[in-house]
Amino acid sequence: MHKVIFDTDPGVDDAMALLFLHQHPEIDLIGITTVFGNASVETTTRNALFLKREWQIDAPVAKGIPETFDPARAHAAWPTFVHGEDGLGNIGVPETIDLPIDPRPAHRFIIETVHAHPGEVTLIAVGRMTNLARALKEDPGIIGLVKAVIIMGGAFDTNGNVNPAAEANIHGDPEAADAVFTAAWPVTVVGLDVTTKTVMTRADLAAIVERGGARTQLLSDISQFYIDFYETRVPDGMLVHDSCACVYLVAPELFTIRKGAMRVVCGGIADGQTIQKPDDLGCGPSVWDGLPSQAACMEIDAPAVLKLVADTL
């Protein structure tokens, strides 16, 4: 059984990923931590509580701190044109959800939960890396206690989706992502190199609703706005970025990885760009020496990933 803390900014594709984690028989979802990104952290936390209530998820929800990791960095604009004003496709989520929030801020929740289950917890982060970076900074001792870190974010050998070089989750807090990539814990990055190849069509979604009933009807309802956005970019469907990261946990054989040190460009015209120095790249001595070798997903068996998502939902 994989113990997972899901760090998320729901977000339409985040919602699908959450349902995947909840439904998968080999995953024990032990916490949901929220971060700003697709909307403010107030809104993403409200959305996490809404989805928890609708899907009867037991895991506690802990809310992130609203500030970026480096307080000098201003927030990027919320992408309301992708996920809607409410972050869930403008379906009319209630203003407040009457469920308790964990009293700890998200990063404290991560620290304490990792200590409670040494060597067992996988962190899956599909929003800004702010909570993970803050947890690392406050307690570097968790580095040796976390089983694995799986991230949706970044673009290594492909273009970004915020600027030509940067992907949204990294661009929204580059200093945080750089701290997470360069820490000596095992990181796997599931970025745009693979998620842009994973298109779920309207027909795929309709078939999921036919098999999954009410819980997937909600998923379909919140996805319509997002599909309309993506239809202008990919043929007949939507990208299920965050589910790809969750699939990696249970089916890593569906991905091809490249190992190497990773850094994030923090500032300038390539703000938020992710760069990897593959382990077999011969360079002279440089500031890249001595950094941990992390895994970047470069290829994906997209039909198999989409099938696993559909079967699980």
Contact residues: ligand BDR, CB under 6 A: 11, 13-14, 38, 79, 82, 126, 152, 161, 167-169, 241-242
| Residue 283 identity (one-letter amino acid) | C
Outline where DSSP puts E strands in the chain.
2-8, 27-34, 61-63, 121-125, 148-152, 187-190, 199-201, 237-239, 255-264, 274-278, 294-300
Query: Annotated catalytic residue: which of 2, 22, 107, 241?
Result: 241
Q: Which residues contact 99 (CB under 8 A, 6 or more apart)?
A: 49, 52, 53, 61
Distance of closest approach, residue 19 Cβ to ligand BDR, in angstroms: 14
Parallel, antiparallel, or unpaired for β 148-152 and 187-190? parallel
**Structure-token pair, residue 174:** 């580059």
For residues 100 and 97, what is the distance between their CA atoms, to the nearest angstrom?
9
| Residue 94 identity (one-letter amino acid) | P
**Structure-token pair, residue 12:** 């339409």
Distance of closest approach, residue 103 Cβ to ligand BDR, in angstroms: 27
Residue 168 binds which entry of Ca ion, ligand BDR, none, CB below 5-8 Å type-dependent: ligand BDR
Q: Is 119 exposed, middle or buried (0-12, 13-18, 19+ CB in 10 A)?
A: exposed
With CB atoms as reference, the residue minimizing the distance to ligand BDR is 168
The site map against Ca ion for 207-246 (x = CB under 5 A) is -----------------------------------x----
Residue number with CB closer to ligand BDR (84 or 212): 84
Region 240-279 residues binding Ca ion, contact defined as CB under 5 A: 242
Which of residues 7, 14, 102, 301 is near Ca ion by CB under 5 A? Answer: 14
In this chain, which stretch among 50-58, 110-118, 121-129, 252-260 interacts with Ca ion, using CB under 5 A? Answer: 121-129
Is 171 in the active site?
no
39 is a site residue for Ca ion (CB under 5 A): no
Which of residues 93, 126, 135, 227 is near Ca ion by CB under 5 A? Answer: 126
**Structure-token pair, residue 117:** 């289950």
Active site residues: 241
| Interacting residues toward Ca ion by CB under 5 A | 9, 11, 14, 126-127, 242
